[in-house]
Amino acid sequence: MDKMCEENGGKRKADTTADPVRFVRVPALHTFYAKAYLIYRQEKAFYEYECLNQNVFPSIRAVFHENGFSAVDAEAALRLVIGNSPQRSMQFKGPVSSTIKDISPSAVGFRDNLLAQDRAMVDRLMHVIFSMPDSVARNSTPITLTSRLRFAEYREESNFRKVVLLYFVGSPSDGDGMRVIIQGKMDDPNTFTFDHTQKWTANRYCRKLAWIHAPAPA
């Protein structure tokens, strides 16, 4: 939905296809063209078109590329992570992990290294979307995220693998967090699921916006 908003108060080579020119947000600018994403029918995340096209989408594509993943639809990935997607899970084709093949599940450190590159990709993706000042939603503020590995499982006979990560602000007991599940089996691409708490959704986006319908800029 397009709106015009008015505010009230292993390394890989970097993706050289990304646009190097980044949009610089002007906080004092009270009127701007933006795209609104409805989050679980509760909140709206507003992004300036320039922010999406010059900052958010190129950064998301770079995150996947630099972590060995196949190219993705950057907007679909953004919608999945923030909670605007009609589905909560999506498959992303990532690198073949040598950890599972070469290390025994009983080895010291196996749990901490399971799906390490997938987890590194999610870490960076969360940082881009929620912590980088020039790529967070216009009606949001950058946050400092802490992550914890809550669960890890591997079954050798089916190559089933699963990790559960918790990203949170403050203390885990505060309820301001997001659970991310990465799982797969055999040679299938891993499935990534993003589960937000109500408090997370309510705390991320300011409601103090007055907006009117407007066409997208030419």
Q: Is residue 197 situated within a structural domain?
A: yes
**What is the 3 state secondary structure string of the chain?**
CEEEEEECCCCCCCCCCCCCCCCCCCCCCCEEEEEEEEECCCEEEEEEHHHHHHHHHHHHHHHHHHCCCCCCCHHHHHHHHHCCCCCCEEEECCCCCHHHHHCCCCCCCHHHHCCHHHHHHHHHHHHHHHCCCCCCCCCCCCCCCEEEEEEEEEECCCCEEEEEEEEECCCHHHCCEEEEEEEECCCCCEEEEEEECHHHHHHHCCCCEEEEECCCCC
Residue 146 lies in a domain: yes
| Structural domain includes residue 172 | yes
Per-residue pLDDT tens digits for 43-89: 889 999 999 999 999 999 999 999 999 999 999 999 999 999 888 99
Domain total of the chain: 1
> Does some domain include residue 218?
no
The answer as to whether 38 is a domain residue is yes
How do residues 178-210 score in pLDDT, each as one tens digit? 999 999 998 899 999 999 998 999 999 887 654
> What is the pLDDT at residue 213?
37
Average per-residue pLDDT in the chain?
83
